[in-house]
Structure 1
């Protein structure tokens, strides 16, 4: 928590990217390019940095640290599984 100013640019970047993506989908709901996931990729980097910083802040709180690690690993695994299933569907496997 003492370095909260160091993470502020990442938080601002993430929320600006998220708000711009939501606004785009509101203003152009039936556009062919507004409903795919390629617009979220720029927001992943600041989100990952904030998640890791939060995880490091929980190092001395063992139960919360374990829960946070389980949640982050489950999130990463589900994202990877989604990509694999999508790629398999595209390749016709």
Structure 2
């Protein structure tokens, strides 16, 4: 599965919209890994983040497969399907 990557550079010492943008991005994507580094270069001090995430289509595929697994492993649902398929036809005769 291919991963996407996005970089953020959040300045230290004064407020920035980058922090809000990063938080919004993290809330709306399936995050796989985050790596952060503190960078101090001449007059710029910041935290740099490398965010690995799944794209929206991959996230949707993952969530639908997880839902399918939950449906198939629910014992009550399995018994109900068995009842409707195997037992109910004999009871209606």
Structure that is richer in helix per residue:
1
Q: Same fold, TM exceeding 0.5? A: no
Larger Rg: 2
Give TM-score, length-normalised by structure 1: 0.31
Structure that is richer in strand per residue:
2
Give TM-score, length-normalised by structure 2: 0.31
